[in-house]
Structure 1
Amino acid sequence: MGVMYRPPNSGQDQGHKMHHKIESACQKGKVTVIMGDFNMQVDWVNNAASGPKEREFIECLQEGVLEQLVMEPTREQAILDLVLCNEPDLIKDLKVREHFGGSDHNVVEFNLQFERKKVESDVKVLQLNKGNYRGMREELMKIDWEQSLVGKTVEQQWQEFLGVIEDTVQRFIPKKRKVIRGEIRQPWLTKEVGECIKAKEKAYNVAKSSGKSEDWEGYKNKPRITKREIRKERINYEGRLASNIRNDSKSFFKYIKNKREAKVDIGPLQNDAGNLVMGDQEIAEELNKYFASVFTVENMSNMPTIQESQGAESNMVAITKEKVLEKLRGLKIGKSLL
């Protein structure tokens, strides 16, 4: 499945590149679906080309055994947005709908029917709300950490500690199969926005069926009103998230994370020997080595002499339950620092 766009004033070279891509996709011996705005002036009902570029395009589709399935205008009176498939029976309920946002092109909607293999998921997640945390604490208190960690390197100590924690978690927190949820609903998609979208679709269908100028005039403002309502609700939702970040920072950063288009990982890195380092532990060691190299090396043989303080001494340090609670209440849960 692929999406293509051919600019209106494309030259012959761009046309040949597009034909090559289509031919390559069709040679793989699999079901092929290609859709997009091809900007081709073709009479698709009679398969008649209006020029040499269109004729070459039709020949390319015939060689790839691709059938063009859109038979209604998608921009004014022209069929520019196409759906190509070498198994046309798999394309169901193809409809040319209202304009997309502020675009002068119509939405082309269809269902792709295919057999989905049922695969049982083995992924399990922890049920943290059902964990036996009292049992975990009692189990961890039985461990002599000093005895189990003595004589080991930092990495060995970490692996020992991590192994114990993971084993305890496995024994005291139950698991369940991960539920794969369906379509993700936009959080700002309110009832009012949904009604605007439905009204826009209804007005388009009425105008398309009747062909009357007054119906098209009634539809004209619907996309603009819907776009304005969506923008307003999105701004309101983002404003509520931002204003409540002190009390609910998780929702704010979850929304920001979902808006990111790309997730960039660290690495690979190049070590001193010029080799690429790709493993997580090796990358961490290279970063640690670099950070340690910029530290200031203190001259331990020439330490300053500390003079005894001549001020008043205080032998009384009072730590009360009330003072500790006061400090805890002042912690900012959304930040790592006070």
Structure 2
Amino acid sequence: MEFVDNVKICEPLGCSDHNQIHFIIKVKGERNRKIRYRKHFHKERYKDMREYLAKIDWNNTLKNKTATECWNILKSEIDCVVDKFVPLKKQGKRSKKKHLSKEAIRKIKYKQMVWKRYRHIGSEEDYSIYKEALNQATAEIRNSKRSYEQKLLLI
């Protein structure tokens, strides 16, 4: 077996006339970063929404309709109003906290896992384990933040 420019060439075994060639291909792809938007309900124009919905003649619109049809009409109108009067907001990306060390992140994940176990089972023993994990994670976060701030002071 020999390697030629990241290509592994295997010799035939025994009397077999089959040869094999193995390629090692390294590909670095581009990340598709598309901007995501979400509804920004804090900037919603409630007054305009009320006026728009008040202009609709609900008696004639929902007359002689079944409950399912009425619900579908109401839902589509509300969706239309929300699309019209609620502005979109660029969804920010969550950034990693720079002051957290790997050990702090590991302890935070452990604390979260123990909390889920406690919430599922609900025993006193699990709660005491969670409290210990919480104290350790808090102490590690505090130490990690302190060391990060000291490194910034030295720069």
TM-score interval, normalised by the smaller of the two chains: 0.3 to 0.5
Which structure would you say has the larger RCO, counting Cα contacts within 8 Å and 6 or more residues apart?
Answer: 2
> Which of the two has greater helix per residue?
2
TM score, norm. by length of structure 1: 0.25
Structure label with greater radius of gyration: 1
